[in-house]
Structure 1
Amino acid sequence: MNSAARDPSADRETVREVHRLASAGDLTGAAAAALAALGAGLEHPLLLNVAALQLEREGRFEDACRYLRRAIELAPQDIGALNALGLCLQSLNRDDEALAHFDAVIALAPQAAFGHANRGRALLALGRIEEAHGSFHKALEHESNVAALAGLAAIATFRGDHSQARQLAEKVLKVEPNYPDAVMSIAAADLAAEQPQEAARGLRELLADRRVAPVDRAHALSMLGDVLDAQHRYAEAFAAYTESNEQLTTIYSSQYAGGETALEFTRLLTEQFQNVPPHRWAPSAPGKRATGAVRHVFLIGFPRSGTTLLEAALEGHPAIQSLEEQELMIDSVGAYLGRPEYVHRLAAAGDSELQGFRDAYWRRVRDAGIDLANRVFVDKYPLNTLKLPLIARLFPDAKILLARRDPRDVVLSCFRRRFRMNAPMFQLLSLDGAARFYDATMRAAEVFQERLKLELRVAQHEMIVGDFRSELTAICNWIGLDWTDAIRAVDQRSHKRAVVTPSTAQLLRGVDSATVGQWRHYAPQLASVLPILEPWVRKFGYDSRP
């Protein structure tokens, strides 16, 4: 129906009716009326916003985003639509995009507490904990806001201050009972206080609430798994982790299930690399660092293999500057590893071409506020393992520190932990997917190193937690440094970390050997993937016996 044939008075009445229903709390009725009006050809930002909310409740986040983008096209300064799109993008784990929309909300309404609170939530999801802390406090300067209080409780949890987390979360629950983030902060405090029964009770009450969003439900299930694990109820814990991952798979399948998976990419990349004549991988000129760094170390491995512990230890050395989990090679990755076959371009690239990408890398380091004058730079990014050919061409004089841990513990931990979602992390949502991705990544690393002959040292997690000083002294000596007692204070530095990863909570306990051999508790559940991992178990020297 075109606009000329419409009845403006009737259209205004339709919009008013949807607004009345939504204001009265009848979101189902408001959504039904909005969708009917949209289906009849009436477009209005309010209708699109209300319809999007219903689509989100149904888990149709991509469709909801499409409606909200249209609402913003019709009304670019509609704060409600901008905020709603940011929240919807957060549900899809697209927090970088969400952050831009919350920034737009704040630019239009600097006093809007919800804009600052939601900005804080996006920053927290990105692991940018200090910036998130600032945004939450900014929100509270304008008014009491449960999202901001819950966000500060989450930060206190990450830092191990469970008393503060509990106080903040209880304030939230007085206003909004069963607020998911607050419930989970209190559950974490209960677990830290060795009261798993209380933690389980709160989480089960949350999970019984049908209003809980799918992402929050998945996170609560994962935490329930941790609580059950603490009670040595391993079969039940595994069932909770499985249900959590199944829900996350449903949520993110529209983004990551179609097309080439990370596993397929890794296998194809390895195959294409092997097709390049070996002489093409002769070392290139080192190129200039343009930063004053005296040495360059890449800390790589596989998720949950011990890279965070190593980075937290090494950053205690006064001569080391580290940067964690930032994709500094993104410019060159697009050019040379965007597709598996692009590796042939990499092998053929001339030094002048490569120097431009080296410069881009160091520019990103400077943009992160890192001063490398007379320092050793440690770039920690676990899956840079798959970029070893790129590292070899761009930085042939760099040292490679490869974190290694029992493959069975690695795969189990990947299955249990929550990561910021992307294609590789989507692979970890199933036990089989995690095991096969691990196998493919280790195979790639082996093939790459065989031809590239990089200066590579293996750091075995079990040896590090077993004899921390000896192992870190050896690693420091390999880098060209001496041991310093400041390296020991991993737990103290972890309280102040500006970036959060799934390993942060464990670092607060310092160097801990309790996670060694955890896979044995779950041996029956891991039975289907043990044959995939067994070759690496043997090759890396681990005991094959259950």
Structure 2
Amino acid sequence: MSDPAPTGITIEQALGQASAHWNAGQADQAERLCQHVLAIWPGQSDAHHLLGLMAHAYGNLDNAIDHLRRASQAPRVQAIYLSNLGEMCRQKGLLVEAEEAARRAVTMDATMVAGWNNLGIILQEEGKLDDSLSCLERVVSLQPNYAEAHNNLGNTLKRLGRLDQARWHYARALELAPGYAEALSNMSHLLNDLGDLDQAMTFARRAIDANPRLSDAYINAAAVEVARDRYTEALRWIDALLSFAPLHVGALGVRATALRQLGRLEEALAEARRAAAAAPNDGEIQNISGEVLQAQNKLPEALAAFDRAALSTGFAPEKALVNRGIALMEQGHKGDAEVVFENILAHNPRSVPAWFNFADLHRFRPGDPRITAMEALLAPGGIEGRADRTALHFALGKAWLDVGNPERAFAHLDDGNRRKRASFSYDATATDRWIDEIIAAFPAERFQHPRAGISGSDLAVFVVGMPRSGTTLVEQILASHPDIFGAGEMSALQVAVNTAGLYPASAAKFSVEEEAALGAQYLEAIRPLALQHRRVVDKMPSNFLFAGLIHRILPDARIIHVRRDPVDTCLSCYTKLFTREQQFAYDQTELGRFYRSYDRLLDHWRTVLPADRFIEVRYEDIVGDIERQSRRMLAFCGLDWDPACLDFHHTARIIRTASLNQVRQPLHADSIGRWRPYAQYLAPLLDALGISAAPAVETIVSDVPKVRAKRGPRLVAG
């Protein structure tokens, strides 16, 4: 049994002994002495402060804050108590109270380095970056060899976009303290932003080695894998973190994001809800929840989550407004979305996500001051982050094309594409071989073998083709029919294929039973979407890679291949920074080479797939006679004609592709032969495609020459 609290000692002696016991690791004795003091003097600030520190050390943040609040109510409270209250409130997310306490602390003692440091961190998290910078620069001036201050100053500079300066301060922190895990982790985060992914991963691993329980290091390692589009690997880092911190809010948020990218939306929503339950006022978690709900087409719930995020502090409100603008774009509310982005830019003219989305919506005119504003962000002292600079180059490329200055447009597009291409590894030769392997895995004789007997596979309609070839337009036309649901770009087929093994080697060996299981798995994913509809359109363009497998696993599914002039298609790809990774698209030679591989594969599908399950539609033919081509596609899908298909641009539905703004407009021929005025900027692409830049009327809707003769008869089938 523990000894009772001592008697016959003064309050000063009891507090001195309590501090000694706490410093010696004897928490029980320290707590008894503090409670003894409070029994005599209920508001004694020193006892409350020490109990608060003890509660914090044992993970009871609410109890710690309660004690620090009581300590801070004393008439002659010490400045350090207020500073500690500010730090604990920051950890709890109570940033307004945290700032108030921290400011009181430095007002009382302007020489207190820890106080200015705490205030600088609080202001940083509130998004008050200039004030944060001033505080942390003061800390460094007061104590130049304070490694933590250099680390914190680096964080503020990074958020201000001053990446070179941030890097210097992280490096200085590591000079002063080579094993400083937090600085190692922050350097990883910075290097990720700069596009140096290998070094970013090295620093994340070093941080974990220095402190195996540093949560941010695991999150930054996962962020590197996300930057590489390796979401499964990102989940491994997050799961390692959750193994010792199962309710870590940031980890749950990253896990939800990775699962969303993998198309595992129900799991993603479950993780987002776990995080939101643990931290209901965390704006970043509300944004992540909204993004998952948005991916599930639950727009009212998504917008409500974004609204909650907008009421939080720090950087989450700006992100919430950007997300709201994107949601409005996807629903076709172009004007409302443009207003949202303009409002963001009025308050934060350095918001690259707002500029990028605004540029996609806006039609620029000569002399538009917004172009000058974006150009300024690329000048010295402007935006330094790799991804942000890349996005600005694409936005400016579009703007200069709008105003009719292709020279300046392609200077930006070439720079943006180079930057994007440098951020990942892509092997064009390996891709060519992979296409050959797909062709070899599906020889003509394979389609003579018995197929999977899947009931209801006529529910599925696949719209495939190169990105920017007109697949979104075709889906929008079909989805305007009352019996067709347009599901957008679904990942369900790719997920099913990936779970079955390495494609195409695994697919070449599938038994009929395995094919049937894959088909059933896919239908299970799309049936909930169908409701009263007879057909569900899956418009993932890259499903052209699986056309032969689709016919094996879903014998009654229809495949519509959309074709467009190859140079127009590739130019349109080259001018877009894709949300989904299209790694072949950011170098003109690689882009042309990929197009020819795609073309070779479609030659094969055209030869081996039956005309009642596979047809091709030209974008140019749709523009020339939309009714004829729409009737043809509906007949192919086994449906009667409906004139609503001609008014596709009025159809209210969510669209999430790079063409979401164009497809809301009536058809016009402006995009046919679009590439010819820009031929001088497309020499590597034209060389790779084997197409001459010389004017030729008959080639305005040309194909790659080697296959032109093959395509004519099949295009009028169906």
- SS class of match (1:184): helix
Give 1:481's aligned residue. Answer: 639
Number of the residue aligned with 2:627: 469
Task: Supply the distance in 2 between the matched residues of 1:120 and 1:81 (Cα, whole angstroms).
Answer: 25
Is the Cα–Cα contact under 8 Å of residues 488 and 540 in structure 2 kept in the other structure? yes
Percent identity over the alignment? 23
Aligned to 1:36: 175
Q: CA deviation at 1:247?
A: 0.4
Partner of 1:109: 279
1:146 aligns with 2:318: yes
1:521 maps to 2:687? no
2:470–2:619 contact (8 Å) kept in structure 1: yes
- Equivalent in the alignment of 2:576: 417
Please tell me whether residue 100 in structure 1 is matched to residue 255 in structure 2.
Answer: yes
Matched residue SS, 1:514: coil
Alignment partners' CA distance in 2, 1:408 and 1:207: 30
Residue 119 of structure 2 corresponds to: none
- Alignment match, 1:379: 538
The structural deviation recorded for 1:374 is: 5.9
Structure 1 SS opposite 2:340: helix
Query: 1:353 aligned to 2:524?
Result: no
Does the Cα contact within 8 Å between 2:341 and 2:358 map onto a contact in 1?
yes
Task: Write the mapping of 1:175-324 to structure 2, written as runs, cut at 5 A.
Answer: 175-188=347-360, 191-192=362-363, 194=365, 197-208=368-379, 209-251=381-423, 253=424, 256-257=425-426, 261-270=430-439, 272-273=440-441, 276=443, 278-289=444-455, 295-324=459-488
Any conservation in 2 of the 1:299–1:400 contact (CA below 8 Å)? yes
Q: Does 1:435 align with 2:601?
A: no
Q: Measure how far apart 1:260 and its partner are.
A: 6.7
TM-superposed CA distance for 1:28, in Å, is 3.9
The residue matched to 1:513 in structure 2 has which SS?
coil
Taking the TM superposition and a 5 Å limit, the aligned residue runs for 1:363-374 are: 363-366=524-527, 369-371=528-530
If you compute each CA radius of gyration, which structure gives the higher value, 1 or 2?
2
Contact 2:561 2:615 in 1 (8 A): yes
CA contact (8 A) 2:563 2:619 kept: yes
Query: Which consecutive aligned stretches of 4+ in structure 1 deviate over 6 angstroms post-superposition?
Result: 121-124, 126-129
Q: Deviations over 1:91-122 (max 9, x none)?
A: 55567957426647645423111333366578
CA distance in 2, matches of 1:282, 1:473: 30
2:306 maps to 136
Tell me: CA distance 1:159–1:480, structure 2 relative to 1, closer, same or farther (3 Å). closer
Q: Does the 8 Å CA contact 2:219/2:254 hold for their aligned counterparts?
A: no
What is the letter of the counterpart of residue 58 of structure 1? L
Q: Is the 8 A contact 2:376 2:382 kept in 1?
A: no
For residue 664 of structure 2, the aligned residue among 508, 511, 522 is: 508
Contact 1:99-1:119 within 8 A present in 2 as well: no
For the residue of structure 1 that corresponds to 2:616, the secondary structure is strand
Q: Relative to structure 1, is the Cα distance of residues 195 and 114 closer, same or farther in structure 2, using a 3 angstrom cutoff?
A: farther
> Which residue of the other structure, out of 587, 597, 601, is the alignment partner of 1:444?
601
Any gaps of 5 or more consecutive residues in structure 1? Answer: 1-12
TM-score (normalised: structure 2): 0.63
Is contact 2:256-2:288 (8 Å) kept? no
CA–CA separation in structure 2 for the residues paired with 1:129 and 1:231: 37
Asked whether the 8 Å contact 2:566–2:704 carries over to 1, the reply is yes
Unaligned runs of 5+ in 2: 1-144, 158-164, 235-252, 258-271, 692-701, 713-718
1:181-223 per-position Cα deviation (integer Å, ceiling 9, x unaligned): 223344455x336466334222212222443311121111112
Does the 8 Å CA contact 1:293/1:377 hold for their aligned counterparts? Answer: no
Matches of 2:414 and 2:614 in 1, distance apart?
A: 36
Give the direction of change, closer, same or farther, for the CA distance of 1:519–1:70 in structure 2 (3 Å limit).
Answer: same
1:536 maps onto 2:699 in alignment: no
Task: Assess, with a 3 A threshold, how the Cα gap between structure 1 residues 159 and 85 changes in structure 2: closer, same or farther.
Answer: farther
Conservation of the 8 A alpha-carbon contact between 1:180 and 1:212: no
Change in CA separation of 1:458 and 1:69 when aligned onto 2, cut-off 3 Å: same
Deviation at 1:168, TM superposition (A): 3.1
Write the letter of the residue equivalent to 2:489: E
Letter in 2 for 1:33: R
Q: Distance in 2 between matches of 1:376 and 1:30?
A: 58
What one-letter code is carried by the residue in structure 1 that aligns with 2:482?
A: P
- Number of aligned positions between the proteins: 508
Question: Equivalent residue of 1:403, what SS?
Answer: strand
What SS is found at the alignment partner of 2:422? Answer: helix
CA contact (8 A) 2:192 2:224 kept: yes
Q: What CA distance in whole angstroms lies between the structure 2 residues aligned with 1:101 and 1:480?
A: 39
- The residue matched to 1:116 in structure 2 has which SS? helix
* Higher relative contact order structure (alpha carbons within 8 Å, sequence separation ≥ 6): 1
Distance (whole Å) between structure 2 residues aligned to residue 406 and residue 127 of structure 1: 33
- 1:3 corresponding residue in structure 2: none
State the match for 2:508 in structure 1: 344
Residues in 2 aligned to 1:60 and 1:163: alpha-carbon distance in whole angstroms: 38
